[in-house]
Structure 1
Amino acid sequence: MQKIPFLTLDKVREIVKTYPTPWHIYDEKGIRENAKKLNEAFSWNKGFKEYFAVKATPNPFIMNILKECGCGMDCSSMTELELSDACGFSGKDIMFSSNETPIEEFKFANELGAIINLDDITHIEYVEKACGKLPETMSARYNPGGVFTMSNGIMDNPGDAKYGMTPDQIIEAFNIMKSKGVKYFGIHAFLASNTVTNEYYPKLAKELFEFAVRIKNECGICVSFINLSGGVGIPYTPDQEPNDIFEIGKGVKKVYDEVLVANGIKDVAIFTELGRYMLGPYGALVTEAIHEKHTHKEYIGVDACAVNLMRPAMYGAYHHLSVLGKEEEIADRTYDIVGSLCENNDKFAIDRKLPKIDKGDYIYIHDTGAHGFSMGYNYNGKLRSAELLLQEGGSVKMIRRAETDKDYFATFDFCNILDKYLK
C-alpha cells in the first residue's frame, strides 16, 4: 500500500516559481468532500454540528471553507476566539473549551455568546464573576479517570489527564448551575487520541449517554447536547485502514437509541470537535532536498526543519514521505531526512526506506494538515513558512505569507538597534 500525494512533481515545479519551499499546502476539494461525509454520517441527528478544533489549523481561509460546510469552531484561547469572531462565527457556533483560563477570556467568550465548556467545578464561581451571572447554556468536561480501552488494545489514560471533572463533580456542578439559572446543559469528553478504529466514538458515546441518564435521574436535567470531542484519527502509515465515518455514525446512532431513547431522552444534539480527522490528510509540507551527507548514516538535508513540523521531533511521530516523481521507483535506500536545527531530534524520518534522493528533489511530507503549521515556532531564528491552498479548480492561492526577518525582529524594543533590518 502507498499514500498518494495530491500534488504532482510538475505542479510543485510550477508552484515554486512563485513560492519557494518549504510550504504547507491544503487541498480544498478534499476538505469539502470530507466535511460533507461527516455531515451525512450524522444526518440522523437533527442537532448535529461539527465544531472544528481551531488549534489544529488556525487559518481564516480554512475556517471559512468549513463555515460554508456548516461547521462551528471550537476555541481554546482568546486569540482563537478573536479569529473565529473575525471570520463571522458567533453565538452557539462557537464552543469555548479551555483550561486554566484567564478571566477575561471567559468574559469575551460570553460576550460572543459562545458555549462555555467548564473544565473544573471551581470555575463556576470564576465564570459567574467574569460574566456577572452564568450564561443560560453551560457545558462540563467529563473525565471518568482510569484507563480507556478498546477491543483492539488501543487505550489512553484519562486518569493521568489534567482535563475535566469527575462524574460526581459534574453532578454537583449541574445542581449548582441549575440553582443559578442555567437552563441548557451539555457534556463533553476526550478520552483517547488519534484512534484508527470505528469502535472509539460508539464506545465513548455509550459511556456519555449512560452518564446523561444518571444526570436526568439525579439532577432532573435532560442534557441538550453531548460533545464527543475529537479522537477520531487518521492513518499516518500506509498499512493502516482509515476510519469509516459512516460506520462510526451508525455505531453512535445504535447506542443513542439503546441508551438515550430507551430511557425517554430524545432530541439530544450530538456535537463533534474534530481537527485531525477534518484536515490532517488534506495538508502536506513540501520541502526540497538541498544536502546529502555520508557518515555513520546516510542523511538527506532538506530546507524544512522541525519548526515547520514538530510532531516527529516532539513525539517521534511517523509522517509518510513521497519523493515526488519517484513514487514508482524501488525504495532501496535507507535515509535519515533531517532539517537544520541545532537539535539531533530534528528528523522527519529515521532509517526510512526511500528511493534514491538527489539534491533538488522535492519531498512531500504527508498528513500535515492538522497540528502541522500551527505548532510552529522560531527556535534558531527560523521563520515560519507560507501556507498555500490548492483550490478546487486547480489554481494555488497563498493563504498565509512566509514570515520574514522583520516579523521576527518586530517585537524587540531597544535603542533602535535593528532599524536597518526593519526599514
Structure 2
Amino acid sequence: MKNLEYKNKKLQFSKTDIASVAKNNKTPFYLYSEEILVKNYQDFYQGAVNANLINPLVCFALKSNPNKELVKILAKMGSGADIVSGGELKRAMECGIPAEKIVFSGVGKTEEEILYALKVSKGKLCSFNIESLEELELINSCAKRTKTVARICFRLNPVVKPKTHKYISTGNKTHKFGLLEKDVLSFLKEKKYWSHSKLVGLSIHIGSQLLDLKATKKAIAKMCDIALKTQAPLEFIDVGGGLGVDYHPSETKRMPSIEEYMTLVYKTLHKEFYSKSDLRPRVVFEPGRRIIAKAGILVMRVLRNKISEDNHFVIVDGGMNDFMRPSLYGAYHGVTPVQEAKATTRVHVVGPICETSDCFGSDRPLPALKSGDLVILEDTGAYGYSMGSNYNLRGRPLELLIQKNQKLKTVNKAQDYKELL
C-alpha cells in the first residue's frame, strides 16, 4: 500500500507514526488521511477533465464512507453525492453538497424518503435514478402532491457480467438493479407517469471492485444506443462507479489507471453517441472505493496467540463487526505489523467475534507477534465503518483523521455501552 512506510522500523501512514497515535487512543480505531483523500478525488476529477469529458460531475458514493468530516472535505472540492437513502441525503446536504449535485439511487426508496427529497431540494435534486415502473409512478405522484417536477434518470440494466464478486455485481438481468431496454422504451410512452416528472438522464452501474473494463465498455455502449432510441434531450449520461483498487499485490498490474478508464469512457461515448447525435450531455460518475479505500487503515492490537497443532492463530482486538469485507466477501486486505521485523511464520489473523468467519487473513507471513503488539489492516477506508455493526454488543470504533497539517482530529468517537441501548 502506498503511503505506508517504515521509518526507524516504525510504520508510518501518510507520514504519521502509527504507534504514537495508538499510545493515546484505544484500539481498534480507523485512521484516515486527508492528504490521500484529496489527492484521490483530484486525480479522478482531473482525469475526466483531461479526457475532454463534458462538464464532469463526480458524485461520491456515500455508502462507501459517510463520515461527516470526510464528506465535508469532498464537498469543499466540488464533489457531488451518490446516495441510496434518506439518511444519506441528509448527510450529503448537511455537509454542504447542493441538491443539484445529488443522485438518488437504490431500488427501495420509500414514499417518505421521496417526499422528503422533493421538499428539501425544492425539485432541484440532480435525479431520482429509477429502477421500476412502480417507483416511477410513486415519484410522479409525490411530485404532484408537492407541486414540483421530479427529475428522472433511468438506471439501465445492460445485461453484462463484469468480473467481480457475485455479491457486488449489479449489471445482469438476474440482479435486482436497473431496467431492461424494452422497459425503458415502454415506460416513456406511458404519459400518465410524466405529468410531474421529466427525463433528464440515463445511468448504468454494473458492479463494484471492477478491474476489467470490457464489461464497462459494453455497458456504456448499450446505454448510448438506448439514449439514441429515446430521442430525449438528456442533460447527462451517468456512467456509474465501481472502479476497483489493488487490495492484493497481484491486482496492481491489472488495476486500470484513471487515465485508461477516462479514455475508455470518452472513446466509447464519442463512438456510440456523440458521433450520432447533436446532444452533448454532461458526464456523471459515482465513485466511492476508488476515492476513499486507500485513504484509511484499521489499527488493531494483538490480544494473544493460540497454537493448535500446525495452526497458529494471532487473535486481535478488531473484529468482523468493525470491518466486514473479509468475512462477507472473502476479501483480501494486507495485514502489516507496526514494528518492522522479518516474517518468521505463517499465521491466521482472527478477531474475537463468535464466528469462524471472523478472520482478517489466513496463512499470512508475519513476524513473531505478542500481546500488545500493533498491526494494521490496509485499505479499509471504503466499506469499513459504514458496514460495521454492534454484533456481540461491541461498540463501534473510534475514527481519526490525519489533517493536511499532520494534526490528528477525532471525526467520530468510539461508542460506549450506554449508546448501544
- TM-score scaled by length of structure 2: 0.89
Q: Distance in 1 between matches of 2:217 and 2:46?
A: 17
- The equivalent residue for 1:397 is 409
Q: Distance in 2 between matches of 1:157 and 1:93?
A: 24
Counterpart secondary structure, 1:322: strand
Which of these residues, 122, 129, 144, is aligned with residue 134 of structure 2? 122
- The equivalent residue for 2:324 is 310
- The equivalent residue for 2:26 is 20
Counterpart secondary structure, 1:8: strand
Structure 1 segment 67-216 matched on structure 2, within 5 A = 67-111=75-119, 112=121, 113-114=124-125, 115-132=127-144, 135-145=149-159, 147-148=161-162, 158-176=172-190, 179-180=194-195, 182-199=197-214, 201-216=216-231
Identity in percent = 26
Q: Distance in 2 between matches of 1:155 and 1:404?
A: 36
Which of these residues, 331, 335, 347, is aligned with residue 347 of structure 2? 335
AA in 1 matched with 2:4: P
Which of these residues, 205, 229, 232, is aligned with residue 240 of structure 2? 229
Counterpart secondary structure, 2:328: helix
Asked whether 1:8 is paired with 2:12, we answer yes
Q: Distance in 2 between matches of 1:283 and 1:402?
A: 16
- The equivalent residue for 1:254 is 267
Which of these residues, 277, 281, 296, is aligned with residue 264 of structure 1? 277
Structure 1: state its 5+ residue gaps.
410-423
Counterpart secondary structure, 2:159: coil
Distance apart, 1:256 and its partner CA: 1.7
- 1:305-326 Cα deviation digits (max 9, x unpaired): 1111011111111111111122
- In structure 2, do the counterparts of structure 1 residues 188 and 29 end up closer, same or farther at CA, with 3 Å as the change threshold? same
Q: Distance in 2 between matches of 1:200 and 1:287?
A: 37
Q: Distance in 1 between matches of 2:161 and 2:148?
A: 33
- The equivalent residue for 2:54 is 46
- The equivalent residue for 1:62 is 70
- The equivalent residue for 2:40 is 34
Tell me if structure 2 keeps the 8 A contact 1:223–1:268. Answer: yes
- 1:239-264 Cα deviation digits (max 9, x unpaired): 22232101211111112221212112
- 1:292-312 Cα deviation digits (max 9, x unpaired): 111131011111111110111
Tell me if structure 2 keeps the 8 A contact 1:233–1:276. Answer: yes
- In structure 2, do the counterparts of structure 1 residues 149 and 337 end up closer, same or farther at CA, with 3 Å as the change threshold? closer
Distance apart, 1:291 and its partner CA: 0.7
- 1:33-65 Cα deviation digits (max 9, x unpaired): 111111111112232111111111011111111
AA in 2 matched with 1:51: C
- In structure 2, do the counterparts of structure 1 residues 50 and 185 end up closer, same or farther at CA, with 3 Å as the change threshold? same
Q: Distance in 1 between matches of 2:150 and 2:385?
A: 36
Q: Distance in 1 between matches of 2:352 and 2:97?
A: 39
Structure 2: state its 5+ residue gaps.
6-10
- In structure 2, do the counterparts of structure 1 residues 383 and 14 end up closer, same or farther at CA, with 3 Å as the change threshold? same
Asked whether 1:360 is paired with 2:372, we answer yes
Counterpart secondary structure, 1:196: coil
Tell me if structure 1 keeps the 8 A contact 2:64–2:383. Answer: yes
Counterpart secondary structure, 2:186: helix
Q: Distance in 1 between matches of 2:304 and 2:134?
A: 55
- In structure 2, do the counterparts of structure 1 residues 179 and 401 end up closer, same or farther at CA, with 3 Å as the change threshold? closer
- The equivalent residue for 2:312 is 298
- In structure 2, do the counterparts of structure 1 residues 148 and 319 end up closer, same or farther at CA, with 3 Å as the change threshold? closer
- In structure 2, do the counterparts of structure 1 residues 181 and 107 end up closer, same or farther at CA, with 3 Å as the change threshold? closer
Q: Distance in 2 between matches of 1:18 and 1:174?
A: 59
Tell me if structure 1 keeps the 8 A contact 2:157–2:177. Answer: yes
Q: Distance in 1 between matches of 2:61 and 2:139?
A: 22
Counterpart secondary structure, 1:101: coil
Distance apart, 1:148 and its partner CA: 4.5
- In structure 2, do the counterparts of structure 1 residues 125 and 313 end up closer, same or farther at CA, with 3 Å as the change threshold? same
- 1:301-359 Cα deviation digits (max 9, x unpaired): 11111111011111111111111122xx4433111111111111111111212222232
Paired positions, count: 399
Distance apart, 1:183 and its partner CA: 4.1
- 1:208-241 Cα deviation digits (max 9, x unpaired): 222211222xxxx132211111221111101222
Tell me if structure 2 keeps the 8 A contact 1:56–1:276. Answer: yes
AA in 1 matched with 2:203: H
Distance apart, 1:11 and its partner CA: 1.5
- In structure 2, do the counterparts of structure 1 residues 300 and 193 end up closer, same or farther at CA, with 3 Å as the change threshold? same
Tell me if structure 2 keeps the 8 A contact 1:289–1:359. Answer: yes
Counterpart secondary structure, 2:189: helix
Q: Distance in 1 between matches of 2:349 and 2:163?
A: 35
- The equivalent residue for 1:347 is 359
Q: Distance in 2 between matches of 1:68 and 1:107?
A: 27
Q: Distance in 2 between matches of 1:357 and 1:325?
A: 10
Counterpart secondary structure, 2:190: helix
Tell me if structure 2 keeps the 8 A contact 1:51–1:93. Answer: yes
Tell me if structure 1 keeps the 8 A contact 2:343–2:368. Answer: yes
- TM-score scaled by length of structure 1: 0.88
Q: Distance in 1 between matches of 2:171 and 2:67?
A: 31
Q: Distance in 1 between matches of 2:159 and 2:223?
A: 14
What's the RMSD between the two structures over aligned residues? 2.2
